[in-house]
């Protein structure tokens, strides 16, 4: 066993475990307060604008419009920004909104990108609060009533729980769990120490004055929903989370689509950190300035450990293949000959078992708090660890993209 590898494994385990334990301590030490649902206002209904940027969304935008029409909120307007779609998006939207005066369509003939479309929407918006929703997402009727009470003094934006529209494939089942932990439970916990680092594209709501003060979305960013969160913090505002409001979004249909999505997400995350590096370890930004570099330390060290493991695994396999050249035994026969002895479990193996146990605990806690049954999601739980392998691949790709300067485009 490579001694450096062993020490590195223990270090990464410690960094990761502290991260998870800290989140769980915060969650369980003040569970009631964290999960407290704020009551909707009775006599206060400020004007709200909802912006829906759309690029080639002919298949999903109708569902989004339908869910918006069902919103249980009086003072509202919907601004659909068609970003030069090449399909029938414009035509479908026109037919769907017909004479409904709450809907405004900005029908661009050229594709400008998502951030610019959102900014056009912001410029046209009359609301005191501005929400953004992806054209492939749907919200529950009470969403606006639920989120508004979270806008206390310093709050500049509120995020909500992100879930999937439909769960059909194994990939959907894995992503559902990922969202339950990463985009729901962790966001809620992060909000308790003002460290939410993303206002998810599927649905987020902002104070209009804050959006205008910081200059809207950054058109140069490929992850505008992540980048804007950094600037909201920079401007001295908080981002809160309304755990009991939900947006349902479309999951990538296959691994290839997921790869394209994650390559953009992770490349964007790296570029945003580089762009706002002056926030890192800066006490001015409170815990946010520390949790972001800590998260990246965990990601980078995890990737390093993954690469070292792959290297060791392959060199051992090559050695075994060389050994097998000398004998006539088949590999399968050799594998079958191996007898399990519990005493051959080493410290590294225990670290692996503990990491697996931590992952399962997180899934169980994530599902519990999002009110989902674990028994109906056995396959997802079983397959969830696969996601860690995919993460390494996506992060590696993102790092290479940033180093080579070949970052992706976002329309």
Partner 1 sequence: MEIKKSAFLLALFITISLFLTLLLISDFLGGRREDNLNARFNEVYRDFDDLQQIMLMSDVYGNEMACIAYKNKLSDFDKRIWDLGLKLEQYRTATEEFRQSLYYLEQKKIFNENEFTYLALLKQIKKLCSNNQTIISFFYRNSKDCKKCDDQSFVLSDIKKRFGNDVAIFSYDLDLNITSLELLRKFYSVDEVPCVIIDERKFCGMQSHEFIVNQVCQGNNLLAC
Interface with partner 1 by CB under 8 A: which residues? 1, 3, 6-7, 10, 13-14, 17-18, 21-22, 24-26, 29-30, 33-34, 192-193, 287, 319, 322-323, 326-329, 337, 341-348, 350-351, 354
Q: Which helix (H) or strand (E) holds 278?
A: none
Residue placing its CB nearer to partner 1 in the complex, 16 or 76: 16
3-class secondary structure per residue, 78-118: EEEEEECCCCCHHHHHHHHHCCCCCEEEEEECCCCCHHHHH
Least Å from the CB of residue 306 to partner 1: 19
Residue placing its CB nearer to partner 1 in the complex, 3 or 153: 3
Residue placing its CB nearer to partner 1 in the complex, 209 or 316: 316
Burial of 165 per CB tally in 10 Å (0-12, 13-18, 19+):
middle
Calculate the CA 180 to chain-centre distance: 10
Least Å from the CB of residue 139 to partner 1: 26
Report the alpha-carbon angle 269-389-262, nearest 5: 30
Least Å from the CB of residue 287 to partner 1: 7
Least Å from the CB of residue 20 to partner 1: 9
Residue placing its CB nearer to partner 1 in the complex, 106 or 348: 348
Question: Encoding tokens for residue 262?
Answer: 């994650």
Measured between alpha carbons, how far is 275 from 221 in angstroms, rounded to an integer?
A: 10
Least Å from the CB of residue 44 to partner 1: 23
Residue placing its CB nearer to partner 1 in the complex, 7 or 95: 7
DSSP string, 192-221: HTT------TTEEEEEHHHHHHTTSS-TT-
Contacts of 81 (CB under 8 A, 6+ apart): 51, 52, 53, 54, 106, 108, 117, 118, 120, 121
**Dihedral sign (CA 66, 68, 74, 79):** negative
Question: Encoding tokens for residue 344?
Answer: 């051959």
Measured between alpha carbons, how far is 2 from 42 in angstroms, rounded to an integer?
A: 65
Residue placing its CB nearer to partner 1 in the complex, 98 or 342: 342
- Total number of residues shown for the chain: 411
Question: Encoding tokens for residue 197?
Answer: 């680092």
Least Å from the CB of residue 193 to partner 1: 4
- Whether 402 and 267 have beta carbons less than 8 Å apart is answered as yes
Least Å from the CB of residue 39 to partner 1: 17
Residue placing its CB nearer to partner 1 in the complex, 122 or 355: 355
Q: What residue has token string 């329309």?
A: 411
C-alpha distances out from residue 229 to 41, 81, 225, 322, Å: 26, 22, 7, 53
Residue placing its CB nearer to partner 1 in the complex, 351 or 381: 351
Residue placing its CB nearer to partner 1 in the complex, 25 or 255: 25
Least Å from the CB of residue 327 to partner 1: 4
Least Å from the CB of residue 351 to partner 1: 7
């Amino acid at each position: 066993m490579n001694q450096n590898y062993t020490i590195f494994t223990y270090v990464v385990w410690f960094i990761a475990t502290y991260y998870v334990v800290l989140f769980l301590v915060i969650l369980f030490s003040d569970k009631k307060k964290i999960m407290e649902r704020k009551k909707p206002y009775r006599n206060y209904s400020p004007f709200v604008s909802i912006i829906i940027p759309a690029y080639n969304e002919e298949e999903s935008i109708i569902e989004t419009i339908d869910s918006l029409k069902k919103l249980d909120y009086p003072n509202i307007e919907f601004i659909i920004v068609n970003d030069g779609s090449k399909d029938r998006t414009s035509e479908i939207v026109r037919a769907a909104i017909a004479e409904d005066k709450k809907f405004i369509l900005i029908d661009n003939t050229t594709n400008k990108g998502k951030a610019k479309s959102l900014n056009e929407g912001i410029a046209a918006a009359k609301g005191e609060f501005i929400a953004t929703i992806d054209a492939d997402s749907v919200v529950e009727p009470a969403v606006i009533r639920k989120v508004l009470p979270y806008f206390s003094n310093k709050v500049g934006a509120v995020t909500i729980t992100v879930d999937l529209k439909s769960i059909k494939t194994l990939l959907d089942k894995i992503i559902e769990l990922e969202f339950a932990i990463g985009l729901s439970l962790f966001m809620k916990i992060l909000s308790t120490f003002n460290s939410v680092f993303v206002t998810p594209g599927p649905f987020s709501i902002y104070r209009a004055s804050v959006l205008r003060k910081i200059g809207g979305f950054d058109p140069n960013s490929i992850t505008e929903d992540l980048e804007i969160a950094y600037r909201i913090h920079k401007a001295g505002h908080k981002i809160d989370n309304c755990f009991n409001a939900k947006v349902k979004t479309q999951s990538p249909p296959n691994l290839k689509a997921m790869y394209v999505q994650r390559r953009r997400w992770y490349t964007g995350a790296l570029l945003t950190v580089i762009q706002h590096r002056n926030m890192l370890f800066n006490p001015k930004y409170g815990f946010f300035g520390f949790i972001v570099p800590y998260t990246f330390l965990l990601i980078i060290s995890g990737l390093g450990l993954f690469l070292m493991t792959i290297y060791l695994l392959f060199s051992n396999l090559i050695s075994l293949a060389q050994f097998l050249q000398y004998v006539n035994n088949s590999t399968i026969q050799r594998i079958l000959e191996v007898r399990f002895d519990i005493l051959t479990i080493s410290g590294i193996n225990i670290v692996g078992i503990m990491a697996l146990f931590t992952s399962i605990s997180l899934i169980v806690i994530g599902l519990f708090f999002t009110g989902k049954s674990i028994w109906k999601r056995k396959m997802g739980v079983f397959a969830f660890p696969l996601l860690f392998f995919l993460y390494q691949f996506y992060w590696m790709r993102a790092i290479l993209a940033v180093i080579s300067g070949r970052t992706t485009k976002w329309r």
